[in-house]
Every structure is written in structure tokens, then in C-alpha cells.
Structure 1
Amino acid sequence: MSPPAPTTPTFSTVKHENMGSQVYLILSLALIEGRLKPGERLRIRELAEEMGTSVTPVRDAILRLVQDGALIMRSARDIRVKQISLAEYLEIRDIRLELEGMAAARAAEKATPTDVERLEQLITENEDAIKQGELITATGLNQRFHFEYCKIADMPILLDILRRLWLKMGPLIAEVYSDGGRDMIDGHYALIDAMRNRDGQAARIAVQTDILSGGQAILELKRRQEL
């Protein structure tokens, strides 16, 4: 008996899989950029209507984000952005100190004047957003700044690891940005100086200092929540 012929994917299957990936990317970006906050509830049907798709790709994307540890599904009708604990935050912070510090050091060695100008532009836009009280925009620009120097470092595996961490960090930063936004941007200037000087060690220290000082508001919030 000959083996069955391989199944040829239909266009609808391909379209469905592609749509699921698109929805996953949209929701991931909303988490990473802080447009969703810890404890915020997501409703599958409302998201599907907003995105102009069926509930299936939205449900699939949400299940992937549950597996990523970014969402909590208590039931089919109760899906929320995860509230991470103090211990989880400290672990993520320690990992970021090492990985983002490494990326910053590498970026300082590789950065072109155009790369530095791009980072400066992000800082300028972030400053403007803070002055205008556009905190959602400012939070997103903060994330883009951190990812940009990781891209300059040309370390795609490291960037993918950080993307998963920022699925949890984005909402948390958004929760405190109104209190800690200034501290979360001041350290970026030191990194720019280090990159101009091609000083990898100074760049590493600048980013690590930024993560620690900018995370003080998060640390205080988490300690209050666990009292």
C-alpha cells in the first residue's frame, strides 16, 4: 500500500495562519510598547471586530501570548495582561542588565553617525511626548530606543530574547511612566555620549545605570503591592 500523498495547504489555511501571525504581532507590539497595562482585560470578540477578522486568529494569538507568559487566561471570558511579581521583576531586571549591557557595548563599537542620529531623534521625540503629556507615545518611544541600540549591535538572538522579556516589561513600564518617565529617559543621554566616543564599557555602564535608576519607580510599586 502506497503512503498517502502529502496534504497541500489550501489558500484559506495559509490566509488563516498568516492572519494569526499578524494578530500576534499586533498584540505583542501593544504589550511591548505599553499600550496595555497590567491587569487590563482583553476581550476576544471585541479585538476581532476591531481588527476586522474572525475570533479564531485572535484566540490563537492570545493563546501564544499566554504561553509567552504575557497574558493570563482565567477563563475564556477572563483574559488579562499579567501582573508580574516583585521576584519576577527582579529576575527580568537582572537579565536585562546583562543582555542590554552587552548589546550597548557592542552597539558602541559598531554604530555609525547615522545610527547615533537615529537614537538622538528618538530621545527628542520622547522628550516632546513627555512635555505634551502623551505618556502612551512616550512609553512606546522608550521601548523603541532600547530596541534600537540592540538592533545596531546586530545580535538578533539577543533581540528575540529581549522581545519576550519586554512583553512583560512594556505594560509594567506604562503603569509607572507618569511617575518615573524622567528617570527612564535621562540615562539615554549618557549612552549617546558613549556611542559617539565608541566606548563600549561606558555604553554598558550607561544602560545598566539607566535600567536601575529608571526601574526605581517599578521597584517601589512592586514592594507596595506585596505589602
Structure 2
Amino acid sequence: MQPDFSLAALEKENLGETVYNRLAEALMKGRFAPDARLTIRDLAQSLGTSVTPVRDAILRLIQDDALVQKSAREVRVPVITPDRYREIRMIRLKLEGLAARETALRAGPEDVARLRNLVERNEQALAACDWAAALELNQTFHFALADIAGLPLLRGILHRLWLQMGPLIAEAYQPGGRVMIDHHHELVKAVEAGDPDAAERAIESDIGDAGSIILDRLTARSKSNAGEL
């Protein structure tokens, strides 16, 4: 009887996907700052795995534009330019606006309760100055809109955009303060009322107001870097 190796193959596949998800999550939560240098061996040691699944995950993240390969041995978190950020923000306004509209049209009481719970927990995290938890809840809230709207393809696109946005949002979240959450309350009210126009306006205001803070920081950094040349 021939041995069945399917279980071993499945474990290897799951390990690679797990490593990718862990690194993607770390990027979206801002655990790696812009221009941070990542080494495969250090990441493998931190995750308690071999270098192979980490290398594979790094390659996927490079394809996602979430990391950049400077040389054969050097991988870094990209430094987003103001122009690139403006493009990402423009795309997010359209896509997340669509997600907000569809959420307002489709959401039931359980969905509204889910969104309200995320906002309340985010408020608690802000009050406790738990920025890591607040940042995670913010990202979960935005992704929940695509889930409730029933738009999995859109969610996949947002995932790739947020891989690039994570370090920027993390830097701006604490300085942003109430700007980073106030419009979430408006959005929940619009979803509960079944008002797609109001929901779209709320998410556009959320992205726009937070984006102004991020853009100011990026512009200042860009000028600083130019002055050092």
C-alpha cells in the first residue's frame, strides 16, 4: 500500500499561508515602520519557523507592493510618496464609498450591532491610550463594510491597499485623535437608517479627514528627505 502524503502537503501549505497572513497583519497594523529593513532569518526566528515559508511570504508581499526589494539581501517597507498616497486615497474613496453604500442597503440588525460594537470598543481603546488595539479595530471596521456588503472581490483589493496604508495609518493614528473615529459614528447611524448616500458621505469624510493628517506628515517627510540630499 502506497503511503498517503496529503496531510504533510497540507501542513506545509497552511504554514506558508499562515506566515503570509501574519506578516500581512503586521504591516496593516503598522508594526513595521516605513523604510524598516526586514531580514528573513529574523522573521523566521520570531515566527518559530524555517526561512522557506518566510521567503515565500516576502515574495508575495513584494508582488502586493507591500514590500520592496532593494537588493538580493535587502527588503524594506516602502516609503510612500505624497503622490502615491493621493492615488491610494482616491481609489479608497471610490471603493470604500461603494462598500459603505452597499452596507447601508444590505445591513440587518446584527450587522448594525457588529459595527456599533467595533466603534464602542475602539472608543474604549482610545480612552485607554491602547493605540495598537484602536488601530486594529479601525482596520476591522473598514473591512467589515466590505464583508457586510457581500463584496469579497472588493475586500481583496482593499487588503492590498491596506498593506501599503498600514504603516502610514499607524503613524497618524495617535496624532489624529478624534478625527480617526468620529465619522465611524456617523456611518453606523447611516447604515442603521438604511441611507446609502449618508453612509458614503461618512466614509468619504473619514478617509478625507484622516488622509489630510497623513498627507501633511508625508509631505513634511518628503521635504526633510530632500533637504538631506
TM over 0.5: yes
How far apart are the structure 2 equivalents of 1:66 and 1:13?
25
Unaligned runs of 5+ in 2: 224-229
1:10 CA drift (Å): 6.4
1:141 CA drift (Å): 0.8
Report SS of the residue matched to 1:226. Answer: helix
Report SS of the residue matched to 1:75. Answer: coil
1:204 CA drift (Å): 0.6
The aligned residue for residue 139 of structure 1 is 135
**1:1-227 mapped onto 2 (5 Å cutoff):** 12-227=8-223
Q: Provide, for residues 185-227 of structure 1, a one-character-per-residue CA deviation record: whole Å limited to 9, x for no partner.
A: 1110110110111001110111001100111110101111222
How far apart are the structure 2 equivalents of 1:89 and 1:9?
46
Report SS of the residue matched to 2:181. Answer: helix
Q: Provide, for residues 112-152 of structure 1, a one-character-per-residue CA deviation record: whole Å limited to 9, x for no partner.
A: 11111111111111111112111111111110000011110
1:24 CA drift (Å): 0.5
Which 10-residue stretch deviates more, 79-88 or 198-207?
A: 79-88
Which 10-residue stretch deviates more, 141-150 or 70-79?
A: 70-79
Instruction: Tell me which amino acid in the other structure corresponds to 1:147.
Output: F
Q: Provide, for residues 63-83 of structure 1, a one-character-per-residue CA deviation record: whole Å limited to 9, x for no partner.
A: 110111111222344322111
Q: Percent identity?
A: 49
| Residues 38, 175 of structure 1: 8 Å contact kept | no
How far apart are the structure 2 equivalents of 1:193 and 1:14?
44
1:40 CA drift (Å): 2.2
How far apart are the structure 1 equivalents of 2:99 and 2:6?
42
How far apart are the structure 1 equivalents of 2:25 and 2:158?
13
| Count of residue pairs brought into register by the alignment | 220
Which 10-residue stretch deviates more, 213-222 or 67-76?
A: 67-76
Report SS of the residue matched to 2:33. Answer: coil
Unaligned runs of 5+ in 1: 1-7
Runs of 4+ in 1 over 4 A off after TM superposition: 8-14
TM-score by length of 2: 0.91
TM-score by length of 1: 0.91
